[in-house]
Structures are given as C-alpha cells and as structure tokens.
Amino acid sequence: MDIATILGLVGAVAVIVVLILIDGGNFGQYVDKHAIIIIFGGAFTATLTRYPLGVILHGIPMGFKAALAMPRISPRELVEEITRVAEVARKQGPNALEKLEIADPTLAQGVRYIADGYDADFIRQTMETEKDNVYAQLDEAQKIYRSIGDCAPAFGMIGTLLGMVNMFANMTDPSKLGPIMAMALIATLYGAVVANMVCMPIADKCHLKMAEEDISRSIIIDGIIQIRNQKSPQIVKEMLLAYLTAHDRHDMAEAA
C-alpha cells in the first residue's frame, strides 16, 4: 500500500482533532446534520449531473483504491526483468518462456503471447488497447474526485448563505444568532475539508498513478515487441533504459 496516501489522510484527520482538543475538545459542536446534507448531498448530485451514475459508482472506489495502491514493480525492476526474459528467449527459445514465473501480470501476459507465437502487430495492438483502457479508467476516477472537490466548497458556501438567511430572519431573538451562525460556518468548514484534505489530493494521486501506469506499460510493450522480434538482450535493455531516470540508469550501470 502507498504509505504516503495513508499518512496524508490520517495526518489530515489528526490535525483537525488536535486543534479541536486544543480548543476544549467539544467535538459535538462541529457536527451538524444540515451541513452534512448540503455538502455530501449537494456535491454528489452536482457530480451526478456531470457524469452517469455508473461512472460515479465505479470511479469513486477505483480512485480510492488507486490512491492506496503501490506499483507492483518499479520501472527499473521491469527493465531488469524484461532483460532476463530476453536472455531466456535468446538462449532457450520462445517455448522456454512458458516456464518463467513473472510477478507482474501485464508482463506475464506479454510473455505468454510470445510463447504462444502471436505476431508482433497483434501483441502491440492488444496490449496498447488494454493500456488505453486502464488509463481511461484512472482518468475517469480522477475526474470524479476532482468534480467533488470542485463542488464541495461551493456547496459549503451555499450552506453558509442559507444559515445567514436563517440568522437574519431571527434577528429579533439574539439568543439564536450565535448557534445559527456557528451552524452556517460549519458548512464552509465541511466543504473545505472534503475538497482540500480528501478529494483533490486523491485526484492528484490518481493523476500520478496514470503517469506511472503509462511508463510501466510502455516499457513492457516495447520490451515484449523487441523480444518477439528476436532482438538481443543488450539491445532490449539499452532501448528500455531511455524510460528510466538518470539516477536509475546510473545505479544499473554501477550494478553491471
């Protein structure tokens, strides 16, 4: 799991809890059903207007899962693993690839295509299509969370305005003004917390996962095609090194 995401979410909650404790620890005064309804109900319905229900129900859990998930294997490890596959294919032939144990499912699928004798065009087209589908799903999840993050502060302001209307309507009773104003401000608080501590960070993390997935799958596809075309392991490795950072290339050169 991505420890950074977990620490970020837990840390955000901890910051709020600590501040409430410093101010006396009265958590009850920060709970208001009107604010909950306007923030969560309003943000969800506004997002529902933008996207179909099925997209929302699929995008919310997928985005949260993507934000928590770590890459199965780093780009550097992918290059090393593909180089190993190329060496086996060069020395023992494509049929020997069936016996290899490969942790990454995408790479394992590409190796299976080689072992089964599929041509390079079929392999590239199929794996590119799967890559585009994964990319589109992550992009969909990112847009859902970004949409909720955009709507939540706006509905927080709407809740505050509704509270102020109620407050001005009760100006004849000064004892009600304080509680009504507090409830109005809680809506703004909820909107800011939902947007800036949950939704927008998860949307940005999904965007980062999209970039990671794009690089990893590009490495796999190019490596598999080169192995299918019977290129030498050294050529395969040198071509894939272009995807790595200068730091990773330096470390691999030292290790070699």
pLDDT in tens, 179-199: 778 888 898 999 999 999 999
pLDDT at 256 > cutoff 70: no
pTM for the full model? 0.83
Q: What is the largest CA-CA distance in the chain?
A: 91
Q: How far apart are CA 240 and CA 238, in angstroms?
A: 6
Q: How far apart are CA 192 and CA 79, in angstroms?
A: 43
pLDDT at 78 > cutoff 70: yes
Burial 22-38 (b: 16+ CB within 10 A, else e): eeeeeeeeeebeebeeb
Highest mean pLDDT among 71-85, 163-177, 219-233: 219-233
Mean pLDDT value of segment 124-132: 94
Mean pLDDT value of segment 95-104: 86
> pLDDT by residue (tens digit) across 136-150?
999 999 999 999 999
Enter the tokens of residue 161.
């305005």
For residue 198, with 0-12 CB atoms within 10 Å meaning exposed, 13-18 middle and 19 or more buried, which class applies? buried
